[in-house]
Amino acid sequence: MQNGETIGVVTAIYLGLGIILSIYPPIIQDKALGRICIFTAFVCLWMLWIVCYMSQMYPSITPEPLPLASEAD
């Protein structure tokens, strides 16, 4: 699976679950507040996932090996 396909599939899953749970929230007293909280949680979780996924695709900092003690002398 290509990177673009992975991002699209997972984004569609997050969007679908967010919309379904926003339309049919669990049993709570204030449904409007529940919808906002659920949708906000899904947006935040998606943003967390996409930032972690993208940072692994194109790391900005690459590890550099330290010189051995015998080479430093």
Enter the pTM of the model: 0.70
Q: What is the pLDDT of residues 3-59, one digit of tens each?
A: 778 889 999 999 998 888 888 877 888 888 888 888 899 999 999 999 999 888 877
Buried/exposed code over 25-62 (b: 16+ C-beta within 10 A; e: otherwise): beeeeeeeebbeebeeebeeebeeeeeeeeeeeeeeee
Between helix 31-57 and helix 3-23 the angle, nearest 10°, is 170
